[in-house]
Amino acid sequence: MTKYSIEPAPQISLPIRGSDERFPVRRIYCIGRNYAAHVIEMGGDPDREEPFFFQKNAQNADTSGEFPYPAQSNDVHYEMEMVVALKSGGANIPVDEALSHVFGYGLGLDMTRRDLQAAAKETRRPWEPGKAFERSAPMSELTVASGTGSPDSGKISLRVNGEVRQDGDLSHMIWKVPEMIAYLSRFYDIAAGDLIMSGTPSGVGPVQKGDVLEGSIDGLGTLIVKVV
Where along the sequence are the contacts to Mn ion (CB under 5 A)? 79, 110, 200
Please name every residue paired with 28 in a beta bridge, in sequence order, or none if there are none.
Answer: 56, 195
Choose between 110 and 214: whose C-beta lies nearer to Mn ion: 110
Contacts of 186 (CB under 8 A, 6+ apart): 91, 92
Whichever of 128 and 144 has its CB closer to Mn ion, that residue is 128
Which residue of the chain is nearest Mn ion when measured via CB?
Answer: 110
User: Closest CB to Mn ion among 111 and 190?
Assistant: 111
When the beta carbons of 79 and 194 are compared against Mn ion, the nearer one is 79
Q: Nearest approach, Cβ of 65 to Mn ion (angstroms)?
A: 20
> Can you tell me the distance from the alpha carbon of 169 to that of 152, in angstroms, rounded to the nearest whole number?
9
C-beta of residue 176 within 8 angstroms of C-beta of residue 196: no
Least distance CB 98 / Mn ion (angstroms): 20
Provide the minimum distance between the beta carbon of 112 and Mn ion in the complex, in angstroms, as a whole number. Answer: 7
- Minimum CB distance to Mn ion, residue 100 (Å): 25
Contact criterion met (CB below 8 Å) for 83 and 110: no
Q: How far is the CB of 197 from Mn ion (least distance, A)?
A: 6
Residue 145 or 197 with smaller CB distance to Mn ion: 197
* DSSP strands (E only) in 115-178: 137-138, 143-144, 155-160, 163-169
Task: Determine whether 225 is exposed, middle or buried from the number of CB atoms within 10 Å of its CB (0-12, 13-18, 19+).
Answer: buried
Q: How many residues does the chain have?
A: 228
